Structures are given as structure tokens and as C-alpha cells.
Structure 1
């Protein structure tokens, strides 16, 4: 009886094939027709489409670079490193305390959470040179108190140094 069970199992799978046959597809072994040349040409982007894609990539990269600069600046402010933060400003300009809602004056800052929205171009260049970045900030003080701020920072691309720099700000404290 012990020999009979493996033999029956072996016979069960003898006629089984897990491979698809041409008949399963309903195409009776025919190969699919080659794509028409017009369809192949439509799948290949034109030179104008490639230029538009490259321009969009440059625009998105500019947005990312500007936001990255702003985040680095705010990290320096949050760390209390005012000298390093000041280097992010163009025109040798530092913000007045009232422009940043007193944010730079906080000496007992434990953490700063930064949330920004999509940068808004302030010029009509294909790749913006001047942006306003709306932000919401949450400062956590050493005593556990949270303060919220809302507003925007304005940045411009310095063409000589090829970097983004801050040129303006309007941040106000939100009442909780």
C-alpha cells in the first residue's frame, strides 16, 4: 500500500502542463503585428517636448534649491548660530526683529519645525530668479512651550555666486 500512494500521485501529475499554449491566447500561433511606423514616431518625444521637459526640470530644481536654502537658514536660526544664518542674506541685509516675529531673538529654542508650501514665482522668467516661499513654523522652547509662526520668505538667485539668498521676510506669531 505504501508504494501505491506515491505511484498514484506521480500518475496524477503526468498529464499536467503549466505552460501556456498558443491556443490559450486565441491567436492560433500568430505573432503580434509590428507597430506601425507612425505609432513608433509618436512614442518618441519631439525636440520641442524634450526642451519643455528640460525646462520643467530646471524650474523644479530651482524650487528645490531655494527651499533647501531656506531650510538651511532656518536650521541655523534654530541652532542659535546667528553668524552662519546672517550669511544667507543678500545685500548685506539682516532682518529686523519685527520682520521675523521675534524668531531670531529666541534664545531658549529647543527645536524648530519648518513646513513650506510651493514656492511662488515673483518674476516671469521660464526658470524663476525671484521666489516667495510661504512657511509655517513651530518653535519649541526649552520649557516645552510651543510658538507658531506664519508668513513668507523672499529669495533671489545671485547670478554671480549661483546661489539663492534671502532678500525679504514677513513672519508673524500666531495666537494659539
Structure 2
């Protein structure tokens, strides 16, 4: 296996770890049965029933939102390893309209001889209203190894859900100033 292939395997494993960590962080803890109970003797039946229905809706909304966020975040680990290939057709397939705007991540696409990649995601931000968001923003920090010094980038990817899953619709990734 070539040196580059080993780095891609390592990058994929790191990204898998990030996804698992994010998935655990986004998982909604089930409410305890005692927390949802309202003493019947102290509360009229209509209010008690209304609270349970509202609680069930809130729980369902939180679960739908967490699932949507997890699915959106899981899109990016497949995208970054194919981004640095000579043929970017596979990376372009992650975009809603087939290719990003020139200014969004042009610096990343211009990189050659990438030998290492580390991606750190921040928690996604909901961009659309509704019980299950159709649009999210995923902030990212990238460290990319290759020819020359280690390069750092920060920014975000905006994703939108379509019939085939989550697609990237916009990116704003810029080189970070060198620490120091």
C-alpha cells in the first residue's frame, strides 16, 4: 500500500471517530417517566393530558432534529477524502448542483500532493425551521499535510436535504493564519 493510501485510511478512521463522537453528542436522552407525570389529584385531567401530548411532540421533534443533524454531519467524512483526488468528479457528486462555486473552497481544490488530513467538526447549526431541518451549517477546522508546512483552514459547509440524502450547497473555507 502506498504512503498516500495509508494516510487516506488513517484520515478515514479519524473521521469515523469524529462522526461517532458527534453522534453520541447529538443523541437525545430519553425523558424519565417520572418527569412527565403530573399528579392527577392536583391538576385537572385536560391539562394533564395536554402536557403529555406536548411532551410527546417535543420528544419526537427533538429526535427528528437529532437524526437529521447526524445524517448531515455524516455526509462530510465521505467528501473530504475524495476532494483531493486528481479527478474531482466523485467530490463534485456531493454537491447539489454538481460543482461548488469557485470562491467557496477554491484554495482546497488547488492543493496538490495532500498526504494527510484532519477534520474537526463543530456542532451543526440549523438553517431551516421545522421539526426535521432541511438545511444545516457544519463548521469545520481542517489540518492538511502535504508538500511544505502543515496548512490549516477554517470555515463551514452548508448542506441541504434532497431526495438522495444530504448535499452540499455552499462552502466558505479559508486558510487560517499561522499560529505563532
TM-score, structure 1 as length reference? 0.67
1:154 to 155, 158, 173: 158
Superposed, 1:68-79 pairs within 5 Å as 68-78=74-84
Superposed, 1:76-87 pairs within 5 Å as 76-78=82-84, 82-87=88-93
Query: Offset of 1:134 from its aligned partner?
Result: 1.1
Cα pair 2:36 2:55 within 8 Å, conserved = no
Summarize deviations over 1:123-147 as a string: whole Å, max 9, x none.
Answer: 2222111111111111011x46210
Q: What is residue 127 of structure 1 aligned with on the other side?
A: 132
Q: What secondary structure does 2:118 align onto?
A: strand
Runs of 5+ consecutive residues of structure 2 not aligned to the other structure: 1-33, 39-50
1:99 to 93, 98, 104: 104
- Looking at structure 2, the residues matched to 168 and 116 of structure 1 have their Cα atoms a distance apart, in angstroms, of 16
Q: What is residue 169 of structure 1 aligned with on the other side?
A: 171
User: RMSD value over aligned CA atoms?
Assistant: 2.4
- In structure 2, the CA distance between the partners of 1:47 and 1:170, relative to structure 1 (3 Å rule), is same
Structure having the higher helix fraction is 2
Cα pair 1:93 1:167 within 8 Å, conserved = no
Q: What secondary structure does 2:37 align onto?
A: helix
Summarize deviations over 1:74-113 as a string: whole Å, max 9, x none.
Answer: 12214555221111000233332x3215112212101111
Count of aligned residue pairs for this structure pair: 133
Question: Comparing both chains, which one has the higher relative contact order based on Cα–Cα distances under 8 Å and sequence gaps of 6 or more?
Answer: 2
- Looking at structure 1, the residues matched to 36 and 141 of structure 2 have their Cα atoms a distance apart, in angstroms, of 47
Superposed, 1:22-101 pairs within 5 Å as 42=37, 46-78=52-84, 82-96=88-102, 98-101=103-106
Superposed, 1:108-119 pairs within 5 Å as 108-119=113-124
Cα pair 2:64 2:131 within 8 Å, conserved = no
Which one has a bigger Cα radius of gyration?
1
